[in-house]
Amino acid sequence: MFSGILLDKKEILKYYKPIAVDTHKGIQGHALLIGGSYGKMGAVCLSSKAALKTGCGLVTAFVPKCGYDIVQISIPEVMVLTDEKRKCISNINFDFQPNAIGIGPGIGQDEVTQKTFLKLLRTNKSPLVIDADALNILSKNKAWFLLLPARTILTPHPKELERLIGEWNSEEEKFEKTISFSLQYNVIVVMKGAPTHIVDGETIYKNTTGNPALATAGSGDVLTGMITSLLAQSYEAVQAAILGVYLHGLTADIALPKTGFQSFIASDIIGHIGEAFLSLE
């Protein structure tokens, strides 16, 4: 039997902070999304748009040069910084202090990308969300686990989790290994799946929203943007992870009667974030 915390509306309302009437974009949080590579620019577009639609005031995307027009044209509200390389990221460089950084969607695993990710881990001062290929890079360089800032959020799907913590022989062992990983490095692990569990040390949260419509390309990239946005809006790390996962699943539950399972795509998650928030009011 599940002995953790069930993430339902009652639980979520303990964390949810409505928007202050006198807020402005400068205090709503500035999120930086780092990702994309040739052929996978869609991933960082989805993350960046999801970040904006989850309420942060400003979003900057850091992408390879070939992503400049793609991001600017797909999402005019997002600011864009580019790497010196055309097809992949080789030197992450920005001159502001983001309130949160999300890294990984579509970023690839090129050697130069690995190096600049290491540099970011050594120098970064912002709360961090790590997803997709940034997780795979970490798994290839397990010594870097020690560089993860406290309360970093990792968002692996089952294969990425296996690459991080190694194989398991039972569900029980999977949780044991994830809990010890979370405790050892003081990080939060969002174990994506059906359902998603969030592991914060020995505390396990089980999500109650979402359905198989979410089994579609880019669904996780959207989640990364949503969690990064909430982190940038000053939610504590585990609260950002919990609220992000809950709202992400809720979009699919709200959309299902209109889209059915098959035609729901990652952009539909973004299109329903507003209704998901409204259902909390």
Q: Interior CA angle at 221 toward 186 and 265, to 5°?
A: 145
Distances from the Cα of 272 to the Cα of 50, 70, 194, 229, 269, angstroms = 10, 23, 20, 16, 5
**Element containing residue 185 per DSSP (H, E):** helix 171-185
260 binds ligand ADP (CB under 6 A): no
Task: Give the DSSP letter of residue 169.
Answer: S
Residue nearest to Mg ion (CB): 220
- Between 58 and 135, name the residue whose CB sits nearer to Mg ion: 135
**SS3 category, 41:** helix
Q: How far apart are CA 19 and CA 211, in angstroms?
A: 28
Q: x-or-dash pattern for ligand ADP, window 177-196, by CB under 6 A?
A: ---------------xxx-x
Residue 196 beta carbon to ligand ADP: minimum distance, rounded to whole angstroms: 4
212 binds ligand NPW (CB under 6 A): no
Per CB under 6 A, the segment of 23-31, 58-66, 135-143, 219-227 that binds ligand ADP is 219-227
157 marked as part of a ligand binding site: yes
198 binds ligand ADP (CB under 6 A): no
Q: How far apart are CA 252 and CA 81, in angstroms?
A: 31
Which of ligand NPW, Mg ion, ligand ADP, none is residue 210 near (CB under 5 to 8 Å by kind)? ligand ADP
- In 3D space, the residue among 155, 154, 204 whose CA is nearest the CA of residue 179 turns out to be 204
Tokens 């009652």 belong to: 10
User: How many residues contact ligand ADP, by CB under 6 A?
Assistant: 17
164 binds ligand NPW (CB under 6 A): no
Which residues of this protein are in contact with ligand ADP, per CB under 6 A?
132, 157, 192-194, 196, 210-212, 214-215, 217-221, 223
Which residues fall in the annotated binding site for (6S)-NADPHX?
43, 106, 157, 221
